[in-house]
Amino acid sequence: MTTTVPCRVATRRRFLLCPPAYFAVEYAINPWMDPSRPVDADAALRQWRTLRDTLRELGHRVETLQPLPRLPDMVFAANGASVVDGRVLVARFRHPERAPEAAAHRSWFRQAGYRPTVAQLPNEGQGDFLPVGDLVLAGSGLRTSPAAHREAEAALGRRVVSLQLTDPRFYHLDTALAVLSEDQIMYYPPAFTPESDRTLRALFPRAILATDRDADVLGLNAISDGRHVLLTDAAEGLAEQLRADGFVPVGVHLPELLKGGGGPKCCVLELHPAPGGHR
């Protein structure tokens, strides 16, 4: 029996990124971070620029958030806000080390023409809120409060599906799950409770399932435009599965930023859609 490979279509996206001008690992707020390991700041900047340039080469619009001193994790821009249908919910970080980043995001969105709402409950932006189809998949259990899911549902105007994370290595939803298209995801089942795994299998019966090897290199921290999928070049198994499902994997090399517990998606906040179409 021959299986038909779906025809995948890319759509032009708009992204917000923040250069790693002050990137360092000065504290440990996730299992990937080890302040005793040296970080090559110049290499981190080169790797980030390659990610930015790759997005542009694929036809996407890249906006830039100004980095601030003493905020080494600002490069992980995805955590600063959730943007759905032009509605913006600014993060409220759980750890005090990152808390000042929220004000920088709020200021950027205001200047860009949005009317952001600031979260009142712990919520780490697109790290834990991923739009797919007419839903928002939301992670909890490690960073974002379960109660914050209801707050986000009201602020973003979409139904939120709650998913519970269980493994500290996968501390945000976007480290354990990637949205590939309006009806397709890839994820790592052991990162979720059995109930959340069942929810995902029911919603996405054709989901791509990551192996331990690919999950262990944050292979699921990926960016998709519906056809091209940017993911770490170390996730070779996922790349093969993506090709078999009609996607075009684009490997990127970010080993320095991985020392902070982030991959391609952590560095990219997708803006859904550009100002003018938001409510």
Stretch (H or E) spanning 53? helix 41-57
Contacts (Cβ under 8 Å, ≥6 apart) of 159: 134, 135, 136, 153
What is the number of helices (H) and of strands (E) in the chain? Answer: 7, 15
Residue 6 identity: P
Cβ atoms of 187 and 161 within 8 Å: the answer is: no
Residue 126 lies in a domain: yes
228/230 Cα distance (integer angstroms): 7
Query: Does 204 reside within a domain?
Result: yes
Residue 177 in this model has a pLDDT that exceeds 80: yes
Taking the C-alpha atoms of residue 177 and residue 218, their distance in angstroms, rounded to an integer, is 10
Residue 275 confidence (pLDDT) above 50: no
Instruction: Measure the CA–CA gap between 65 and 77, rounded to whole angstroms.
Output: 8
- pLDDT tens-digit readout, 28-58: 999 999 999 999 999 999 999 999 999 999 9
User: For a pLDDT cut of 70, what percent of the chain falls above it?
Assistant: 97
Mark whether 266 is an active-site residue: yes
CA neighbor of 132 nearest in space, from 93, 56, 185: 185
pLDDT tens readout for residues 78-133: 999 999 999 999 999 999 999 999 999 999 999 999 999 999 999 999 999 999 99
Per the rule left: phi > 0, alpha: psi between -120 and 50, beta: everything else, 118 is beta
Q: Does residue 278 form part of some domain?
A: no
Q: Considering the domain boundaries, does residue 98 fall inside one?
A: yes
Q: Is residue 5 situated within a structural domain?
A: no
pLDDT value at 183 more than 80: yes
pTM score over 0.85:
yes
CATH number, position 124? 3.75.10.10
Give the tens place of pLDDT for each residue, 207-238: 999 999 999 999 999 999 999 999 999 999 99
Residue in 172, 228, 267, 272 annotated catalytic = 172
Q: Is residue 229 part of a domain?
A: yes
Residue 139 belongs to domain spanning: 14-270
47 Cβ neighbours under 8 A, 6+ residues apart: 252, 253, 254, 255, 256, 257
Q: Choose the catalytic residue: 18, 149, 228, 266.
A: 266
Sequence-ordered list of residues with C-beta below 8 angstroms from that of 133, at least 6 positions apart, any chain: 182, 183
Residue with tokens 């093969």: 240
Give which of 269, 261, 262, 265 is closest to 250, Cα–Cα.
265
- Confidence check: pLDDT of 136 > 90: yes
What's the domain count of the chain?
Answer: 1
DSSP 77: G
In a domain, 205, yes or no: yes
**Rg from Cα positions in the chain:** 17
Inform me whether the pLDDT recorded for 277 exceeds 80. Answer: no
In the numeric block, which tokens belong to residue 278? 């938001």
Tell whether 3 is covered by a domain. no
